Amino acid sequence: MTSKSQIPNPESQVFARLDEKKKRLDAHRPLSSGVAAKLEEYFRVEWTYNSNAIEGSSVTLGETRAILLDGITVNGKPLREHLEVINHSRAIDFVQGLAQGPAITETTIRQIQSLILRTIDDDNAGSYRRVNVRITGSSFVPPDVSQVAALMNDFVKWLNGEAAQLHPVERAALAHFKSVDIHPFVDGNGRTARLLMNLLLIRAGYPSAVVHVEEREKYFATLEKAHAGDTRDFVALIAVSVERSLDIYLDSVPKED
C-alpha cells in the first residue's frame, strides 16, 4: 500500500485556491433553507448517478432523479441497478449523519459498504473479502486476502493519526486511494471509497466531490499510477472535483458587492 504524495508547488497553489473559495463560502453560512435543500437534492442525484455509472450501471441521470425524487421504478432496468440507486442514497444519508461524529473506524467503513450491497449481496455486505480478487482491465493486483485485516487496521490508524496533518482535500483523496488500494471487499470498493472521501470532505467543511463518469478513463488511469506509487495525478483529479463543487455552491449564494 504505497503512496508517495509529493505535492508539487503548482498543486499547493490549487489547495490555496480551494481554501480561498471555501472561505468565501463559509462567509455565507448558514445557507438559507431553500438554497441548502436545492443543493442537497442536486448533489444527491449527481453523486449517486456518477458513482454508479463509473462502476458500469446503465441507469441514466434522468432515471436516477426519477428513482430518488419521484419514487419511480424504471422499466427495463435490472433490479440490481435500481437497488444500487436506492442503496447509494441511503449510504449518503448515513455519511451525512456522521458529519459531526466520532473518529472513523473500520466498522464505519464496513457499514458504508454494507449499505451499498444491502439486499444485493447480503453474504458479502459489511464483510471483508474472504478470497483473492482481480480487477478487470487493471494491471494492479490487490493484496492477498490474508493481509486485508491488518492493512485496514493500519489504514484507519493512518487516517486518524498521521493523515490529520495533511490538507483536508489531500487527506480525503489519499483515503480514497488507500481504501481501493487495499480493496477490502468483494464488491462496492469504489463506491465505498468515494463515500468515505466525501465523509472526510464534509467533516472538513467542504461540499461533497463528484467524479463525473465522463472522467472515468482519467480516473482509472490516475488510480493505476497511484497503485504504482505516484498519487499526485489522482490527488489533482480529486482537487478538480472539489473545486467544481465549491463553484456550484458559490454560484448559489448571494453575489458579493
Active site residue ranges: 183
CA–CA distance, 123 with 84 (Å, rounded to integer)? 16
* Nearest CA among 233, 217, 91, 125 for reference residue 174: 233
For 52-206, list the strands marked E by DSSP. Answer: none
Q: What are phi and psi of 208, to 5 degrees?
A: -65, 145
> What letters, b where the CB count within 10 A reaches 16 and e where it falls short, cover 217-231?
eebeebbbebbeebb
SS3 230: strand
The Cα 55–Cα 81 span in angstroms is 11
C-alpha cell at 185: 471487499
| DSSP code, position 28 | T
CA atoms in the 13 A half-sphere facing the CB of 256: 6
Q: Using alpha carbons, select from 190, 240, 174, 247 the residue that is nearest to residue 14.
A: 240
What is the rounded distance in angstroms from the CA atom of residue 211 to the CA atom of residue 51?
A: 7
Q: What is the largest CA-CA distance in the chain?
A: 59
Q: Considering just the CA atoms, what is the radius of gyration of the chain in Å?
A: 18
The 10 Å CB-count burial string (b at 16+, else e) for 34-66 is eeeeebeeebbbbbbbbbbbbbebebeeebbbb
